[in-house]
Structure 1
């Protein structure tokens, strides 16, 4: 079963990501603060995580990705797609170096999400349009 976890502190961006993801995934869960991320990773067991770079004053997406990759459980290997308004090559490189699996520039679209997921999730095929 395909599951996606969306991590974004913006209600508008989270809503849009959920709308796009609902077209592609059986289950969609969103977390709006970094405190809930690790609990959801273990309880929800997502196939992929979509995460904003700018989350809150205490933690950004880059440090959160690095923290996830350093974990000693199955959540450390979940594919992470960064979804950010930042489009500079340096931002993409920083995300990749932290452990991001892919990068989408906002606003997120169903097509961009499907394309990234097809590359990252074995056997993933988007439903017919």
Structure 2
């Protein structure tokens, strides 16, 4: 990670938590600012660019998932850690599907949030899957072309709509073809070692990718299930798509 000072923006309606975290971060020389709700988040980010946004899930007005969806739909890729007091794993999956970088359940120790922030920023700084995207040649398999520079998947010349998590997973597969990848390894490559992501957090985008890439998603050839292990991406070649 670079020596650039960390700037944290917390969006949470819990005044006690805001005060606790403000004291904790400022004592460590970390710039820390707050919003009481997400209603002005987009406008706030037009004026300033923090290193990371820590976004509460349950808030009055615009909730955290809606705010995250607005960010990603607008093309804003700022790192986001979601906070939630709910134990519902579905919300975690949805948040990660929408493009959250990590998820942290309440209650938590400030030290744990700081560790998560460092991990997320380290991944963004290293950007192992994207840092040289513009210099990387498009990945071609069958009738598909994955353009790393534009983060776009094409079938022949037609662009296909991918969510952020679907693109990220396909990029991982494209960079690790013919490798047996456990779910744990995939979570690590996608979200880092501290991410709280269940197996469903991998299985859902796999299922969605299969609907795009496979002739028969129920009998996949490209994204194969390795029972007891995980998945393997078998790209094939353009000849696979040509009629006999």
Does residue 62 (structure 1) correspond to residue 65 (structure 2)? The answer is yes
Query: What is residue 36 of structure 2 aligned with on the other side?
Result: 32
Counterpart CA distance in 2 for 1:50 and 1:12 is 15
1:8-19 residue pairs with structure 2 within 5 A?
A: 8-19=12-23
Shift of the 121–25 alpha-carbon distance from structure 1 to 2, 3 Å rule, reads farther
Q: Which structure is richer in relative contact order (CA contacts within 8 A, separation 6 or more)?
A: 1
- SS of 1:100's partner is coil
Give the distance between the partners of 1:116 and 1:82, measured in 2 at CA: 11
Partner residue in 1 for 2:92: 92
Aligned length in residues: 119
Q: 1:33 Cα shift?
A: 2.3
Across the aligned residues of Structure 1 and Structure 2, the Cα RMSD in angstroms comes to 1.9
Residue equivalent to 1:41? 45
| 1:104 corresponds to 2:104 | yes
Contact 2:7 2:51 in 1 (8 A): yes
Give me the TM-score of the superposition, normalised by structure 2: 0.45
| Alpha-carbon separation, structure 2, partners of 1:25 and 1:86 | 31
Q: Which runs of 5+ in 1 are unaligned?
A: 124-129
1:11-63 per-residue CA deviation (whole Å, 9 max, x = no partner) reads 1222233233335552100001223212222323110110110111x321001
Give deviations 1:80-125, integer Å, cap 9, x for gaps: 10111112322211211122111111123222112211221136xx
1:84–1:104 contact (8 Å) kept in structure 2: yes
